[in-house]
Homo-oligomer: A and B are copies of this chain.
């Protein structure tokens, strides 16, 4: 621990991965330093926000100069806890599950697919991307073998809570839920939700209330 006890606001945490992505791009372009102004431009926010966000991680900039890209990148990875790859187990081999399993964007960015499981006997044994669909009964074993793992729920809504319970029982401590349903987990488990149709409905709102509507909650 480096003694930075300050609690990082949720809003800041949600932006850190965006900065990470940009820093990776800058590093690939062999750019050595970057100003808060430039970072802000690339992230679609303003410079004050970038500086405040980064200040929660520590004092990594140099006044009059900017931030050293490689050093900030290292610290950002440290802060986000993405210093090692973290495998992902997808539950549900329907359209969405197969899609997510095939999506290269996960493995490319540090989240390789460990397995796909499904409760439906008919789907077990079929191939999805590089892996073969396994039965739900293998879940605990798969989690044990790959710990730590992030569980991804890609089932229909009605079984999402059941699946979440099984993931937690199997020892998963972070869950990403794509099912359109509320799931609750013990307080020590991290949970996030992505509902694709919901995003379209939000767009729909701003489209029908056009004339000054920021569908993107203030970042451009």
Contact = CB atoms under 8 A, between A and B. Distances in A.
A190 B207 contact: yes
Interface in A48-75: none
B192 A203 contact: yes
B174 A21 contact: no
A160 B69 CA distance: 24
Given A102-B95, A204-B174, A218 B43 contact: no
B213 A190 contact: yes
B201 A44 contact: no
A46 to B, nearest CB: 14
A123 interface: no
B217 A203 contact: no
A96 interface: yes
Contacts of A217: 10, 14, 219
Contacts of A18: 195, 198
Interface string A179-218: 0101010011011111111111111111111111111111
Contacts of A182: 42-44
Q: Which size class do A's interface residues fall under?
A: 35 or more
A104 interface: yes
Contacts of A110: 197, 200-201
A96 B105 contact: yes
A109 to B, nearest CB: 4
A188 B202 contact: no
Contacts of A205: 13, 16, 79-81
A2 to B, nearest CB: 13
Given A42-B182, A99-B96, A182-B44, A80 B204 contact: yes
Interface of A: 8, 10, 13-14, 16-18, 20-21, 42-44, 79-82, 86, 88, 95-96, 98-100, 102-106, 108-111, 148, 150, 173-176, 180, 182, 184, 187-188, 190-220
